[in-house]
Structure 1
């Protein structure tokens, strides 16, 4: 199933419970275990200008983060990008990924 716009409020809740321990969203925000996600859409994996230390897998994958690529990645990050440092196991439900991607699209611009 491809990406379809989801529920932004449900996506915000998912971000807070599943992502916020490792990622920040605000412009100029610091990186945690994972990189700051501000400006994520249109960015190439492993290429942000912050000081985050990306895995070689992320740098070499050169994935442009858009709704579809992020939807696919979030299902199983290690399968999508073997060698990634992201420890997150993924979101198996399409609805959850649609909701989270919808939230991220609006909150990282």
Structure 2
């Protein structure tokens, strides 16, 4: 049995040495030279006129979608996407993110006891209206550069409307729909 193990080990070592010697001989025979420029790059003259940088996709207004939004679907979406970091109960504790009870119409960075990012604190005089929530839920990092919220966002406008409709219900006096 041990003789077979020795044969396998000798074969592996012999193959490794053979590959190493072949590589050394190849390096001695062939002298590759580095290209001064990339072979894949095209000269500037051959490139078509550069188009302006594509504009960031515009976000469609959420107000028209809110009339048909489903707050129950928003509740389900919030429990699936948001509840791991946020609390939705009046007087409930903050989690990784602030408690979102009563967030619609409230100013940015207003939940007591939560350590907001500087980007969010800079907007403290602006309310979380429907369009601000829409932009933030769509892509937090684009709506508020510098936010600490590590969430990719919700791309579907109908789902964002449902989520905002749910957040609107989290208040004794919900903000009127537009």
The TM-score with structure 2 as length reference comes to: 0.58
RMSD of aligned residue pairs (Cα, Å) = 1.2
Does 1:2 pair with 2:61? yes
Residue from 131, 136, 153 that aligns with 1:90: 153
Unaligned runs of 5+ residues in structure 2 are 1-59, 173-178
* Superposed CA offset, 1:43-102 (max 9, x none): 111122x21100011000233101121011111000000010111110011011011000
- 1:53 aligns to what? 115
Distance 2:120 2:171 in 1: 19
Shift of 1:108: 4.1
| Runs of 4+ off more than 4 Å | none
SS at match of 2:88: coil
Q: Report which structure shows greater RCO (CA 8 Å, sep ≥6).
A: 1
CA contact (8 A) 1:77 1:88 kept: yes
Unaligned runs of 5+ residues in structure 1 are none
Residue from 79, 84, 87 that aligns with 1:24: 87
